[in-house]
Amino acid sequence: MAAALQVEVVAADRTVWSGEASMVSARTADGDIGILRGHTPVLSLLAPSVVEITPDSGPTVVASVDGGFISVAKDRVSILSEHIWLGEEVDVAHARADLEAAESDAGANAEFDPAVRWARARLDAAAKASRV
């Protein structure tokens, strides 16, 4: 069997998570991507969304990203974003308030607004983390 994926999730101010995993799922600007061992090299923009990591041991890691990049090469996955929150770190009340404000500001374009997507990603990460 091939070596495990070496995964690093890095925000501008800290390393959020680092370890070995069997799978990483993320949403890129071109759509959803699943990374397994032996994946071909990839460099892509991340959309504001939820990233899920299946570690070799332990519970699934759920994080929200506000965009950024994903890089895959030689069974190494790097997720880089200015802001990253693990699901259990999300202040749900604050994220809900941010979502309401962003939707109000975006109006009819809320579906495409990055602030709306970022707030939804934080709420989704919190919800998924509570189920893991």
Give the model's pLDDT for residue 2: 52
Domain boundaries, the chain: 1-132
Cα separation values, 90 from 22, 81, 85, 123, Å: 25, 16, 6, 7
Question: Residue 116: its pLDDT value, please?
Answer: 92
User: Each residue of 43-102: pLDDT tens digit?
Assistant: 999 999 999 999 998 899 999 999 999 999 999 999 999 999 999 999 999 999 999 999
pLDDT score of 1 more than 50:
no
* Model confidence pTM above 0.85: yes
Q: Tell me which of 3.40.109.10, 2.60.15.10, 1.10.510.10, 3.40.50.2000 is the CATH number of domain 1-132.
A: 2.60.15.10
Three-state SS letters, 101-124:
HHHHHHHHHHHHCHHHHHHHHHHH
